[in-house]
Amino acid sequence: MPVTLKTSNVSPERWAATKAANAEEMFQQACPKLFEQSAGVLQSSFPEPSRHITPDENGFIRAVWKAYSHHHHLVLRPDDIWCAILVQLSFYINAHAEDLRSQFVTHQGQKELEVRAGGSIHTVNVGLLAIQMTNLIKESIVDPELHAWIMPSFTTTTQSDEIVAAVLMMGTFQKYFSYTMCLLCGIPTVTLLGEREDWVTLRAKLERLPSLGTEPARFASLLEPILENFVASFDQPDSPELGKFWNSCVHHEFGSGSSTLSGWITAFCFWNEDGEPRQESDGLDGEYISIDTDRIPSGMVSVPVNLIDNCVSMRTRMVAGSVGIEATDSNSNQSRDSIQPYSGWWMFKEKDGEQ
């Protein structure tokens, strides 16, 4: 249980320093140099502003100092002390990274480590990704037990403390590793309707495409691994590899004034409406083509039809293809949380279509 020591006879004083109003202000005052480099806080551990937290560049040192010099009760956790030790150690290791390299890693330069999560910066806890990153560090260092030594596990340790230690660990070894957190949009579930044999039949239909020419053969080669994974989804629905396949269907990137789409879904955009092939791509083993989202080809085809209705001839046109997205409910609460492509068709009379 905690222990309280009576260390002097002075009367305690009220803490007069103001509290930070929000995470942005906390960052600005605690890390002024880094704040100048910032374009905005994305996430933080800063709690509700109801807690009285005063920003400081070294909260541990100044808390002890101010408690001593201004007569405040002092409360400490082992996590606070360990954090101070890790920060100091990080300074030393980074200053002597090459001298110490062989004690920590066997590779030269920086090894890239990447963690992935489904979602966006607005939904994913990047702190938890930092903890995941330390597990990758653990797999890549000479002494894996160093991970447990660094990560706190005191009775006072909170998840925030674990994240703090994880970031400190990343910073300590930053001369040996580079870090990437990849946030991916994701599909909660994928349902393939019909029977497995239907999808086998679909896959077999690709065999005719190469007879139509070089471009159709290339089209078939791009589609083949995709359709094979459709079939495999019936055989191994819980396979991590298939989960990876489905989560690689789309990569959506935003650039300066533009938006591009890549992933295996673009294999179905091999030609534009004029029948011109897009750039070459390597399929699942490489990268599929990237296309501007405003240049996604039409999912439908139209054809003129001369219609004779009881001896009256008129020019019409039929249109068919993937023409919409249908939303349905995955349960009984009218959630409208499931979508699927909708195929349909029309026949319309062309203007001045009567002959």
Residue-wise pLDDT for 59-86, tens only, equals 999 999 999 888 889 999 999 999 999 9
What pLDDT is attached to residue 319?
87
Q: What is the DSSP letter of 116?
A: E
Q: What is the DSSP string of 248-298?
A: TS-EEEE-SS-EEEESGGGGGGSB-TTS-B-----GGGS----EEGGGPPP
Confidence of residue 281 (pLDDT cuts 50, 70, 90): low
SS (H, E, C) 130-163: HHHHHHHHHHHCCCCHHHHHHCCCCCCCCHHHHH
34 touches 57 (CB < 8 A)? no
338/341 Cα distance (integer angstroms):
11
Q: Using CB atoms within 10 A of its CB, is residue 113 exposed (0-12), middle (13-18) or buried (19+)?
A: buried
Instruction: Outline where 193-269 has alpha helix (H).
Output: 196-204, 214-235, 240-247
Answer for the pair 330, 339: CB distance below 8 angstroms, yes or no: no
pLDDT of residue 354: 63
pLDDT value at residue 355: 59
Task: Give the type of residue at 74.
Answer: L
Distance (Å, whole) CA 182 – CA 248? 12
- pLDDT band for position 234 (50/70/90)? very high
DSSP state of 11: P
Check: CB of residue 292 under 8 Å from CB of residue 258: yes
Q: What pLDDT digit, counting tens, does each position of 289-321 carry?
A: 888 888 999 999 888 888 888 888 888 888 898
Residue 283 has pLDDT above 70, yes or no: no
Please give the structure tokens belonging to residue 354: 């009567």
DSSP secondary structure of 87-128: HHHHHHHHHTHHHHHHHH-SSSS-EEEEEEEES-TTTS-HHH
Q: What is the pLDDT of residues 178-222, one digit of tens each?
A: 999 988 777 889 999 999 999 999 999 999 999 999 999 999 999
Q: 178 near 111, Cβ under 8 Å?
A: yes
Determine contact, residues 187/246, Cβ cutoff 8 Å.
Answer: yes
> How far is Cα 193 from Cα 88, in angstroms, rounded to an integer?
58
Amino acid at 303: V
Instruction: Match 């906390």 to its residue by tokens.
Output: 26
- Indicate whether 278 pLDDT > 50: yes
User: Which is it for strands 177-184 and 111-118: parallel, antiparallel or unpaired?
Assistant: parallel
Q: Which of 103, 232, 224 is nearest to 172 (CA)?
A: 103
Asked if 292 and 301 count as a contact pair (C-beta separation under 8 A), the reply is no
Using the predicted structure, report yes or no on whether residue 27 has a pLDDT greater than 70. yes
Domain ranges of the chain: 1-76, 77-184, 196-295, 300-354
pLDDT mean across residues, the chain: 89
What per-residue confidence (pLDDT) applies to 280?
A: 60
Tokens 């396979």, located at residue: 239
pLDDT band at 350; cut points 50, 70, 90: confident
pLDDT value at residue 151: 96
Q: pLDDT band at residue 261, thresholds of 50, 70 and 90?
A: confident
The more confidently predicted of residues 28 and 186 is 28
Cβ neighbour number for residue 262 with a 10 Å cutoff: 17
Q: What is the secondary structure of 315-335 as a DSSP string?
A: EEEEEEEEEEEEEE-SSSS--
37-40: list long-range contacts, CB under 8 Å, 24+ apart. none
Q: Is the pLDDT of residue 155 over 50?
A: yes
Q: Is the pLDDT of residue 93 over 60?
A: yes
pLDDT at 323 over 80: yes
Cα(63)–Cα(80) distance, integer angstroms: 11
Specify the pLDDT at position 256.
42
